[in-house]
Amino acid sequence: MQAKRFRRLAVIAALVQPASARAPRQFNYDESAVPAYELPDPLVCADGSRVKDAAGWRTRRRPEILELFREHVYGRAPAAPSELRFELLEEGEPGVEGSAVRRQVRIHLASDVSLDLLVYLPRTTADASPAFLALNFYGNTSVHRDPEILPSRSWMGDNADLGIVDHRATAATRGARAHRWAIEEIVARGYAFCTVHYGDIDPDHDDGFQNGVHGAFDPSGEERPPDAWGSIGAWAFGLSRCLDYLEQDDDVDAERVAVMGHSRLGKTALWAGARDERFALVISNNSGCGGAALSRREFGETVARINEVFPHWFCGNFRAYGPNVNRLPVDQHMLVALIAPRPAYVASATQDRWADPRGEFLSAKHAQPVYELLGASGLPMGEPPSPNVSVQGTLGYHVREGKHDVTELDWAHYLDFADRHLLATPK
């Protein structure tokens, strides 16, 4: 019992530290020490045959890769719940200093599980707006100082870096992460901004999958199979339920929704975009291992380490690949490829070596053959660009100077990318 308590304390301590602070010294940060590896070819099927056209990708290889990620990495999520229901909590109120209309909606997934979706809509257009949808770490109150944002009702962890002891103490969270969300600029560009606290969906700790959507949807009294969904699968499931709501909101163009995420929520955005093709554009910010970074490079965080510290993020089968990642039948370039031919953007930071910036770039680059097969442009550069420079085709990439975070520069590149792909041919 005492050992279990210490293990949980170690996990909580890891949660409240930035990724760079968690990186142990024994992990590799030397490019010359990256082991030799061979990536699975995203266009070669399990039977050895190669898909040669869009039909072959769509009917054969794409379903095969999606199934491999379900079985070996993220697990299997249930279908949309039959009890799905939307409750309007607030409508038509001005927010973001009068430049937007604020809407707050409760999405009921089950009798005891609901998500609070915060939406800011541009006031300058009568047409349905394209949108950015993202999960946040610290509750909806953290994304802006707007005093009318409803406080979170769900798990928030300790959040010691914000001085939060009780998640109901919204004074500590109000606007605490506003620098990560360029809401004024997003709205000024004509996009809606939509966000949900990830703790509404599933608490981010190793609780035996008893709470959140796992507690509501996993069969009770049964042993979890090794391919059961982990927390990343759960958070992606929640993003899809938010999109279910946006499909019936006349003020949002649900066919032009970009899903964005940072860090573990960047991993989530990639998986959400891969499994739910309704997302029109996908953005991964500093997502690292289990996200955009190639696992076989074993640079910075590794599959073995991520499963040791965060075993609840993935399915049980993923743990078997820590000792030998080359046995894994997929790598993360194949996750990016699942998004094709829809636009996808991967971003890194120079000081975020734990997330392997070069490995993140290479995932996007090695997804390019699938994009080209489907008639898209891929990533128009063979090597990572200079810091802060964005390269954009149907795939986009930049490595920003600085640490593990989301900044105004990141958003400037994301908005330019979205303008290029979501505003070029509006409905």
Residues with a catalytic annotation lie at 263, 404
**CA 3/CA 7 separation, integer angstroms:** 6
> How far apart, in whole angstroms, are the C-alpha atoms of residue 132 and residue 281?
9
CA dist 16 and 158 (Å) reads 7
With contact defined as beta carbons under 8 Å apart, do 408 and 420 qualify? no
> Over the range 54-85, which residues count as b (16 or more CB within 10 Å of their CB) and which as e?
eebbeeebbeebbebbbbbbbbebeeebeeee
Cα separation, 392 vs 378, in Å, equals 8
Distance (Å, whole) CA 149 – CA 145: 8
Residues 133/243, Cβ–Cβ less than 8 Å: yes
d(CA 398, CA 86) in angstroms, rounded, equals 37
> Residue 17 and residue 14: Cα distance in Å, rounded?
5
Decide if 224 contacts 311 (C-beta within 8 A): no
How far from each other are the two terminal CA atoms of the chain, in whole angstroms?
Answer: 58
Distance of alpha carbon 409 from alpha carbon 414, whole angstroms? 9
- Read out DSSP for 327-390? G-S--HHHHHHTTTTS-EEEEEETT-GGG-HHHHHHHHHHTHHHHHHTT----S-SSPPSTT--
The CA–CA distances, whole Å, from 92 to 118, 121, 165, 400 equal 12, 9, 33, 37
Q: Taking the CB of residue 162, how many other CB atoms lie within 10 A of it?
A: 17
**Number of neighbours of residue 86 by Cβ within 10 angstroms:** 15
- Joined tokens for residue 123: 């006031």
Give the number of C-alpha atoms closer than 13 A to the C-alpha of residue 163, restricted to the C-beta side.
8
